[in-house]
Amino acid sequence: VTAAGQGIGRATALAFAAAGATVIATDVDEDKVRGIASDTIRTAKLDVLHASDIDRAARDAGAIDILFNCAGFVHQGTVLDATDDEWSFAFELNCRSMFRTMRAFLPGMLERGHGVILNMASVASSVKGVPSRFIYSATKAAVIGMTRSVAADYVTRGVRANCLCPGTVHTPSLDERIAVNAAAAGSVEAARAAFIARQPMGRLGSPEEIAALAVYLASDAAQFITGQAVVIDGGLTL
């Protein structure tokens, strides 16, 4: 699991362990993952921006059954707000990292004839246009494209690849986005209310709800599901 230090990645590492998996929970900030280390969860530093770190992680881990690419960054803004540097950074973190981890871990899965890849996308992508998510949506649409491509290439070789498309989920980085938007919205509460208002259910999702979907998609119960962008969004796309 990448980006397991907080939010959805952390909840998923814990949920995988609770479901009986042996988990390697990684994050660029190792201090954040240390707290969930246990008999079944090994923690490690992994900066997904660095190819050499990913190759080393693959060597250290050996063959794995499930790869969950969770690391991602939310750029807020329209096409007119976006800079070339922000575009490049977001594609490095949200997309190239997944290309590299899949390239590093797939051979072990193919050798053993089974494996599951889960990539974190979003409803803000090719699934739905969301205001002020120009760069972010472009990266997450690319995640869906990569996932479908890998699913098609390895569908006969025991490897499934799916991505998760959450709506608005209450995580530490969402709180940061709320803080950034507070000035324009008038207050932190007004900024929070605007995020909640995007959700027809009238509430934010929890990291645990997304983790439960990840566990299902990784499990044998989902063996007939591959190449899908699975939406979990409290009705945002209704």
Give the active site residues: 136
Q: Is residue 235 part of the contact set for ligand NAD (CB under 6 A)?
A: no
- Residue in 95, 120, 146, 150 binding ligand NAD, rule: CB under 6 A: 120
> Can you tell me the distance from the alpha carbon of 196 to that of 169, in angstroms, rounded to the nearest whole number?
10
| Residue 131 is a binding residue for ligand NAD (CB under 6 A) | no
- Tell me if 67 contacts ligand NAD by CB under 6 A: no
Single residue of 168, 181, 226, 228 touching ligand NAD by CB under 6 A: 168
Residue pair 2/12 in contact (Cβ under 8 Å)? The answer is: no
The helix/strand/coil state of 44 is: strand
Q: Which of 57, 71, 146, 191: binder of ligand NAD (CB under 6 A)? A: 71
Residue 104 in contact with ligand NAD, rule: CB under 6 A: no
The residue among 168, 167, 169, 162 whose CA lies nearest residue 208 is: 169
Q: How far is the CB of 114 from ligand NAD (least distance, A)?
A: 25
8 binds ligand NAD, rule: CB under 6 A: yes
Do 144 and 128 contact (CB within 8 A), yes or no? no
91 by Cβ neighbours in 10 Å (0-12 / 13-18 / 19+) ranks as middle
Find the shortest distance in angstroms from Cβ 113 to ligand NAD: 29
**Residue of minimal Cβ distance to ligand NAD:** 72
Could you give the residue ranges of the DSSP H alpha helices within the chain? Answer: 7-18, 30-34, 51-61, 84-91, 97-112, 134-154, 172-185, 188-197, 207-218
Which residue do the tokens 């042996």 mark? 22
CB of 73 to ligand NAD, least distance (A): 7
151 Cβ contact list (under 8 Å, min separation 6): 160, 161, 162, 226, 227
Say whether residue 63 binds ligand NAD (CB under 6 A): no
**CA-based nearest residue to 147, from 134, 164, 132:** 164
Which residue's CB is nearer to ligand NAD, number 168 or number 181? 168
| SS3 of residue 120 by DSSP | strand
Answer for which of 17, 21, 27, 141 binds ligand NAD (CB under 6 A) is 27
Report, in Å, the least distance between residue 107 CB and ligand NAD.
22
- Interaction between residue 12 and ligand NAD (CB under 6 A): no
* Closer by beta carbon to ligand NAD, 21 or else 95: 95
The reply to whether 102 sits near ligand NAD by the rule CB under 6 A is no
Residues forming contacts to ligand NAD in the complex (CB under 6 A) are 2-3, 5-9, 27-29, 32, 46-49, 70-72, 74, 93, 120, 122, 166, 168-169, 171-174, 207
